[in-house]
Amino acid sequence: MVFASFLASLILVNGTALAPVRKGPVPMNTSSKSDAAQNHPYAGMWVTADGRVRHELLPNGRYDEARGSRESAYQGRYEVRGNHIDYWDDTGFTADGTFVDGVLHHGGMILYRRK
């Protein structure tokens, strides 16, 4: 029934079926494959040398970023593929970064793993 409802909602453009555009937050993939992908060595707390910016990469694919005295300044989801990280803020902002030799390079900042 769900599949039939999906098929009924397809839009034809130049003979090609397109799924309708979804509005609102993108749901997280909660499959076991996604969960396994999030259990990586980068989960944990990452901080700038001055401690002003703090990224907590949670094992469930969510992150919580603090800025100065403002806890939970930004929150959203993230995915790590190899040494690359993509962020999707709950407000719609996107960003990315790269892990190089145990250091996170993100948005012009360098964050170090807090032990």
pLDDT at 28: 44
- How far is CA 111 from each of CA 12, 42, 47, 62, rounded to the nearest angstrom? 47, 12, 5, 17
β-sheet bridge partners, residue 62: 77
Alpha-carbon distance of 64 to 78, in angstroms, equals 10
pLDDT at 39: 63
Among residues 98, 74, 99, the alpha carbon closest in space to that of 88 is found at 74
Q: Mind listing the pLDDT tens digit for each residue in 62-108?
A: 999 999 999 999 999 999 999 999 999 999 999 999 999 999 999 99
pLDDT at 74: 95
Q: What would the mean pLDDT of 42-49 be, rounded to a whole number?
A: 97
pLDDT at 91: 94
> What fold, for 26-113?
Lipocalin (2.40.128)
Spans of all domains in the chain: 26-113
Alpha-carbon distance of 108 to 96, in angstroms, equals 11
Strands (DSSP E) along the chain, which ranges? Answer: 11-13, 16-18, 44-48, 53-57, 62-67, 70-81, 84-89, 94-100, 103-106, 109-113
Q: Mind listing the pLDDT tens digit for each residue in 20-42?
A: 443 344 444 443 334 444 567 89
